Amino acid sequence: MTQGPNRLLDDFAKLMTDAAGVAQGARREVETAFRAQAERFMSDMDIVSREEHDAVKEMAARALDKVEELETRLAALEGGDKDAPSGD
């Protein structure tokens, strides 16, 4: 009878290990389904990617720098400043 309780505990441990494996598989399936749904939702909303956002942000920064440069040149030309950059 000494083998009876040990076998019962071994069977219970195996059952718990199998249950943990099933739970892990279910978790992966839920994550995959959630990601697919989230990607579908994001594509329906026409949300830009990080790369597109960064590219437009850089273009806007360059445009603002150019505007500032042109404003400075214009102010110098309107003021009749002979030392103003000619842009050539």
Task: Give the Cα separation of 60 and 52 in Å (integer).
Answer: 12
> 17 pLDDT exceeds 80?
yes
Backbone angles phi, psi at 49, to 5 degrees: -80, 165
Residue 87: the pLDDT is: 56
User: Based on the domain organization, do 58 and 78 belong to the same domain?
Assistant: yes
Could you tell me if 53 and 87 lie in one domain?
yes
Indicate if 85 and 53 belong to the same structural domain.
yes
Side-chain half-sphere CA neighbours of 11 within 13 A: 6
| Domains of the chain: total | 2
pLDDT band at residue 4, thresholds of 50, 70 and 90?
low
- Grouping H, G, I as helix, E, B as strand and the rest as coil, residue 62 is helix
Q: Which domain holds residue 61?
A: 48-88
**Residue 60 and residue 38 share a domain:** no
Do residues 33 and 71 both lie within one domain? no
Over residues 20-67, the pLDDT tens digits come to: 889 999 999 999 999 999 888 888 887 888 999 999 999 999 999 999
